[in-house]
Amino acid sequence: MGGDRSAAADHDRLSAALLVRAVGAGGGPAPGASTRAFLDEWVFGVVNSGFIVQGLALGALFALYAGDRWDHLWRGALRHLPYSPTAPALRVTAVAASLTALVPGTPHLLRATGSTSGLNTTRIAERTGDFYALEAVYGLFVVVAVAVAGALLLAFGRRSAMPLPVPPALAWGGSAATACWGGWLSLSAC
């Protein structure tokens, strides 16, 4: 059980480390951190790069499919959407969903800026540039998913010239990343 958490923590760090190290900001292990890796580092680079390519390809293919299937619904801007008699209820729901998104998003954004709340002493000692990048990405997914791009733009952006596909695409991508990553971390913690 403890080994699984350590392996998941190693995987988390190394996943975000690909991008951080590509720009030269990652760095090695923190002082006092274990130097024993779960797998050789090249494995994470190869496997995660493959998953990134696969995810981008599936997203692009879905976008092409959605364009063929529902093109007539994606045309125009937010201001061209018809008035809905349920608009006030949708706005209340959008604000409630945005406030709910603050629950998982706030700890990630706090940790990305250096907070240690909710972390055990081992995890605090192992923080590197990779850790901060990963936490910032988690927070970004939550913000993009619900609070800004998705629900609020659709609920309150009726006068906007923003193309209609942008808010649903951001909400779809951000919420999928948040839900899938949270599900993976929940399963790997068992």
What does the pLDDT look like over 155-167, one tens digit per residue?
A: 777 778 888 888 8
Mean pLDDT of the chain: 75
**Segment among 9-18, 95-104, 128-137, 151-160 with least mean pLDDT:** 9-18
Q: Has residue 70 got a pLDDT over 80?
A: yes
Mean pLDDT of 133-155: 73
pLDDT at 161: 85
pLDDT at 33: 54
Neighbour-count burial of 83, counting CB atoms closer than 10 A to its CB (0-12 exposed, 13-18 middle, 19+ buried): exposed
Mean pLDDT of 34-40: 66
Nearest-angstrom CA–CA distance, 118 and 115: 9
pLDDT at 3: 47
Q: Report residue 189's pLDDT band, with 50, 70 and 90 as the boundaries.
A: low
Q: Has residue 65 got a pLDDT over 90?
A: yes
Mean pLDDT of 82-93: 83
Nearest-angstrom CA–CA distance, 90 and 24: 44
> pTM for the whole thing?
0.53
**Contact status, residue 156 vs residue 91, Cβ threshold 8 Å:** yes
Q: Has residue 78 got a pLDDT over 60?
A: yes
pLDDT at 46: 87
pLDDT at 96: 83
Is 88 or 11 the better-scoring residue by pLDDT?
88
DSSP 3-state of 17? helix
Nearest-angstrom CA–CA distance, 188 and 80: 45
